[in-house]
Amino acid sequence: MEIQTHIIDTIPVFKIDDPISKVVQFFKDTTFCHIAVIEDDIFLGLLSENDLETYEIDKIVDDYRYDLESFFVRKDTSWLDVLEMFARNEANLVPVLDEHQNVLGYYDLTDIVSVFISTPFFTEPGGILVVSKGVKDYSFSEIAQIVETNNAKLVGGFITAMQNDLVEITIKISPTNLNDVVQTFRRYNYEIVFGTKDDMFLEDLKERSDYLNKYLNV
């Protein structure tokens, strides 16, 4: 899935000798939580809005060199890895670098999530199941087999949690035979963590996802 068209090149990049007052004003004027800093056109890191109260407006960006955070993606980074970068760093803006460490622009979390929710996993009708099993005991081929032997179709699936040797997989299946699929998963020793219809799942996602609710209004 192509996401390069979502690279934004109109958001500023600050130089190491810029006054920190410009950064402070940027954070006050926007809802973004990070902004990139360069030295001789090379990416150094990001200043964070979380440190806003510590910035002294009579200083320059270089005075906060050692406070810079370091995360970024490349132009060819997959959209799933980009989404992971947002989540891992609790960010709503991520810089995109080329092979020479130059900043090409940024990805905005809202844009990348819009790509995610436009995939068939969200747009196609169906039922959502979250199943859990031992890390060494599950397989996606087995999951697909369970779904398809009940005359249902697997729309998509991905790992949503992994803890204490248990893996949690969220899957979406065609809206037929959902109950039969659930019963078969149980016979194969999968725990049903969550199972509901598509519209209920989306409502639950809106209510339970504090991270997305903080930055989005979907």
The model's pTM: 0.68
Quote the CA–CA distance of 207 and 194 in Å, as a whole number.
15
Shared-domain flag, residues 133 and 152: yes
Shared-domain flag, residues 106 and 139: no
Q: Which domain holds residue 13?
A: 4-116
Instruction: Count how many domains the chain has.
Output: 2
Quote the CA–CA distance of 150 and 144 in Å, as a whole number.
10
Q: Look at residue 124 in the predicted model and tell me its pLDDT.
A: 81
Q: Which residues of 68-92 are buried (b: 16+ CB within 10 A; e: fewer)?
A: beeebbeeebebeebbebbeebebb
Shared-domain flag, residues 139 and 209: yes
Q: Look at residue 83 in the predicted model and tell me its pLDDT.
A: 86
Among the candidates 66, 91, 116, a domain finishes at: 116
Q: Look at residue 198 in the predicted model and tell me its pLDDT.
A: 45
Shared-domain flag, residues 14 and 110: yes
Q: Look at residue 218 in the predicted model and tell me its pLDDT.
A: 44
Q: Which residues contact 17 (CB under 8 A, 6 or more apart)?
A: 60, 61, 62
Q: Look at residue 126 in the predicted model and tell me its pLDDT.
A: 82
Shared-domain flag, residues 140 and 109: no
Shared-domain flag, residues 82 and 161: no
What is the pLDDT tens value at each position of the chain, 218 positions in all?
Answer: 678 899 999 999 999 999 999 999 999 999 999 999 999 999 999 999 999 999 999 999 999 999 999 999 999 998 878 988 998 899 999 999 999 999 999 999 999 888 877 777 777 888 888 999 999 999 999 999 999 999 999 988 888 888 889 999 989 898 777 888 989 999 999 998 887 544 444 455 445 544 454 545 44
| CATH number for position 199 | 3.30.70.260
Q: Look at residue 196 in the predicted model and tell me its pLDDT.
A: 57
Shared-domain flag, residues 15 and 108: yes
